[in-house]
Structure 1
Amino acid sequence: MPWMRQKKDFLRSASPDVFRLFCLRSSYRSAVDYSDGAILEARRLLHAVAAFVEDARAYMRGQLAGGPVREDVLWDRLGRTKGAVQAALADDFNTPRAVDAVVELIHHGNRELKAAAEEPRGPRSPAVLGALVSFVEQFFETVGISLAERQRAAGAGSPAALHSVVEELVRFRQTVRRFALAAGEAAGEARRRQLQERRALLEACDALRRDLSAHGVRIKDRSDVSTWELLDPRTEDPKAGR
């Protein structure tokens, strides 16, 4: 039958999470629209949710430029959303309305992140963003969609990426350090003044070494050559990097 073939084609084109979100967007009492547009909308929405969680986490870690957000607005919106979701589910399990409420919360969160990025100075507001992320993840986890799993899957190649980033960072630091220590043709008093002028560069290199050590990356300076290694967080045994 044509409608059976339509369902099979639909299921083949959708991932499990996209299909779950598609179902949540449809009332269980209504006829289901198995169309390409419906699956594309569910896929787009799931991507938007995951993107918000990723951006919010980056903001909390200080990896996303931004100053303070309007905490009172987001706390109020979070409280309203929790009430709206509870009311929707109590109303004959109205999942479309519940999802719309969560999406609206994400919209407000994105708007605040965008505004914060335009004014990057000032104290950050990680607590309220953390509360939003926690609620969004918990909601989708409850309905069988794990955003945390999506984050881990997206970062499956992160060890190699981390190695490359650290390698480039250490190489750049080594170049700066060599410049700061280079004598050139200067000698005596001129050399002393040169070292004094470049002292800030050496201090910055030392500060970077200490900061990276706190994150499990140990840099060793040998004359004008720098090497690095990763520390096992469980034993602090080094794992060779370069």
Structure 2
Amino acid sequence: ERFLKRPLAAVAGDARVVRLTEVEGVRLLPARAGGVWATGERDSSEHGAHDHHGGDHGETQHDPHAWLDPRNAIAFTQAVAQMLAELDPGNADAYRARARERISALEQLDERLSERLASVRERPYIVFHDAYQYFEARYGLAARGSITVDPGRPPGGERLSALRGAIRERGAACVFTEPQFEPAIARTIVDGTGARLAELDPLGAELSPGAALYPKLLAALAADLRDCLKGAD
């Protein structure tokens, strides 16, 4: 995380600091603007994706929510295992074995999520803030806009009006809020449109920390999306 750069330098100046978004195999997507997105924007974001092949490429305007694509989580796992093996060669085989187990589990998770979301891929929806682009791109989902880019900045009247219009014109089935933020704005947007209001949590704030958090996080996103979008039948 960028905000950790200075604290890490102060408390662990000799530590090896690695940006996981720059390790080999990570697929990055360009950041999007808030508001209403073009119908084909999820396809254009795929075309704008950038695969890292290692090395420091400096600061970019990429969407930072890369962990929501399990393929990126696989790349993270491979990189961490390799780094630990280099730092602790006596246990290198153990690190690599655990990485293989985790990667196998992530591949199975990816397959399950793809199957669960297949029936709602073409159902349009709106999110509170644009945290889900990687998840959408991986599973071909049809997000049509976000209420805000920065959750700390409330959207203006023009954007709210455009989003209400998009819900009606594009038949958005759901508008998703997040547990960390007051949903009043989302309720205002949904009122009178026929769209359903539901919740997504891109951080797993209500999940217990531990090795199971990541698969539970992605499974919960898939379940919450599917439940709302299927319920709009």
Q: TM-score, normalised by structure 2?
A: 0.23
Larger helix proportion of the pair: 1
Say which one has the larger Rg: 1
Larger strand proportion of the pair: 2
* Greater relative contact order structure (CA < 8 Å, 6+ sep): 2
